[in-house]
Amino acid sequence: MTEYDYWKIFPRMPKKVTIGDITVRDGFQHEEKFVSTRAKKFYLEELIFAGCRYIEVTNLGNPFLMPQFEDAEELLAHLRSDQFKKRCERKGINYDDICLTTITIREGAVDRAIELKEKGIGPDRLLMMVSTEEQHHFANSGTTLPDYWKEAERAIKKCNDAGMKMCGTVSTIWGSPIGGATDMKDAVEFSKRWLEIGAHDIEHADHDGSASAPDVYRYFSMVLDELPDTRLHIAHFHETKRVASASVLAALQAGITNFEATLGGLGGQPANFLDDCPTKGTGDYYYTDPRYVGLVTLEDTLVQIDEMGIEHGWDVDRVLWLGKQMEKTIGRRLRSEAMINGRTLKEGHMEFARPGLAKRKEKLGETPGQKFPADWAPEATTPEKYRPK
């Protein structure tokens, strides 16, 4: 007989996960309009109040290249303020459980993070990034892979000495928007290299939506065979073909317990235009239509995981409300379907029921809940030709 218990079929699949939010950093970096500092503070606060404990706050790189993040220090100072800490306390949130991450692609940004740490407003965790396909890596960082690895090694030592953690990201695992197909074995080796030089965890990123569910399952199974501590691994999926939810499921089946998402599926390559002015960003976009760029949505991912019965620690209804607010902030329809349609309710939506069913059943002599004619057998007799062999 077929095994119906999902967790017996996929014994590595977790019953509890952590979902970090990266809306204010990765989500907003793709926007060609400046998102106000006031709005950024609002969403950072509200996401934490809704259950987020791992949140990307900003990018500490050169604001000349990415002016969306010229308010980086103000955002960090806000989240480090006594006022915000007291608000967390009033809501029953242990402030020490919150991990603030900033992106520091280059060593100069790591130095800036250390300076902020000395001021008392620094992040808890930094992030550097490599791509297994060198053309994509060069487009993101301006360096070769060997040169960047040495820079990352220096930066991680500085970071650790300053009392901060470093996340090492591995990108182009399932393909590159520039160089094409890649070998997943390279990404496994890159992951091990990050840990070798002192990184604390690894983000495994599908930055252009190249991943397919079978390859996601295969890759994360390979990774966990080599590095079985699930606390080390974060899955990061972009959405370009509307199949990222399948990637989330495949990663769960492989045993991954940490995920990232953005409200509305915002995000993508750093913008090369802001408000009324071209800006450098990371150069030309890798895509022709910006409607099909972004991450897996926080709203839909939460609903998916919640309805699987997997513990996650978020207030789903509050997140769905935040998704509606985000559409107003950005000024266009975003990608979340759950934000519009809500969760699948066990009690249904009886406000849509047509009147008269009870009276019709009574008139026909049927009992409430009766589904088949009264003179039929209690169970169907399957024709012989359709029965299992």
pLDDT in tens, 298-322: 999 999 999 999 999 999 999 999 9
Question: Does residue 22 lie in a domain region?
Answer: yes
DSSP 88-105: HHHTT--GGG-EEEEE--
CA 328 to chain centre: 21
User: What's the pLDDT score for residue 292?
Assistant: 76
Task: Give the burial string for 72-100 (b: 16+ CB within 10 Å, else e).
Answer: bbebbebbbeeebeeebeeeebeeeebeb
* Dist. CA 264–CA 296, nearest whole Å: 8
List the CATH number of the domain containing 282.
3.20.20.70
Question: Does residue 129 lie in a domain region?
Answer: yes
Lookup: tokens for 147 = 């040169």
Question: Does residue 1 lie in a domain region?
Answer: no
Q: Where are the alpha helices (DSSP H) in the chain?
A: 6-9, 28-29, 37-49, 72-79, 82-90, 107-119, 134-141, 145-161, 184-196, 213-226, 244-254, 298-307, 316-330, 338-341, 357-363
User: What's the pLDDT score for residue 291?
Assistant: 73
Q: What is the DSSP letter of 111?
A: H
* Dist. CA 31–CA 7, nearest whole Å: 40
User: What's the pLDDT score for residue 386?
Assistant: 94
- Which one-letter amino acid corresponds to residue 365? G
* Dist. CA 288–CA 299, nearest whole Å: 26
Q: How far is CA 65 from CA 165, 271, 321, in A?
A: 25, 9, 33
On whether the CB atoms of residues 69 and 63 are closer than 8 A, the answer is yes
Question: Does residue 90 lie in a domain region?
Answer: yes
On whether the CB atoms of residues 56 and 106 are closer than 8 A, the answer is no
User: What's the pLDDT score for residue 348?
Assistant: 84
Q: What total number of domains does the chain contain?
A: 1
* Dist. CA 135–CA 178, nearest whole Å: 7
pLDDT in tens, 69-105: 999 999 999 999 999 999 999 999 999 999 999 999 9
Question: Does residue 303 lie in a domain region?
Answer: yes
What are all long-range contacts of 77-86, with beta carbons under 8 Å and residues at least 24 apart? 77/121, 78/41, 78/44, 79/44, 80/120, 80/121, 84/45
Domain that holds residue 200: 6-341
User: What's the pLDDT score for residue 342?
Assistant: 87
CA 221 to chain centre: 19
Question: Does residue 361 lie in a domain region?
Answer: no
Quick one: which H or E segment has residue 202?
strand 201-206
User: What's the pLDDT score for residue 159?
Assistant: 96
* Dist. CA 155–CA 197, nearest whole Å: 10
* Dist. CA 380–CA 318, nearest whole Å: 45
| pTM greater than the 0.75 cutoff | yes
Neighbours of 26 (CB within 10 A): 25
User: What's the pLDDT score for residue 330?
Assistant: 97
Contacts of 235 (CB under 8 A, 6+ apart): 204, 220, 247, 248, 251, 256, 258, 259, 260
Lookup: tokens for 121 = 């407003």
Q: Nearest to residue 236, comparing CAs of 9, 14, 11, 22?
A: 22
User: What's the pLDDT score for residue 389?
Assistant: 85
User: What's the pLDDT score for residue 286?
Assistant: 79
The torsion angles phi and psi of 36, rounded to 5 degrees, stand at: -60, 150
Walk along the chain (389 residues) and give the pLDDT tens digit of each residue. 889 999 999 999 999 999 999 999 999 999 999 999 999 999 999 999 999 999 999 999 999 999 999 999 999 999 999 999 999 999 999 999 999 999 999 999 999 999 999 999 999 999 999 999 999 999 888 999 999 999 999 999 999 999 999 999 999 999 998 999 999 999 999 999 999 999 999 999 998 888 999 999 999 999 999 999 999 999 999 988 889 999 999 999 999 999 999 999 999 888 999 999 999 888 888 777 777 789 999 999 999 999 999 999 999 999 999 999 999 999 999 999 999 988 888 888 888 899 999 999 999 999 999 999 999 999 999 999 999 88
On whether the CB atoms of residues 14 and 310 are closer than 8 A, the answer is yes
* Helix count and strand count (H, E) for the chain: 15, 10
Question: Does residue 107 lie in a domain region?
Answer: yes
Question: Does residue 356 lie in a domain region?
Answer: no
* Dist. CA 248–CA 125, nearest whole Å: 24
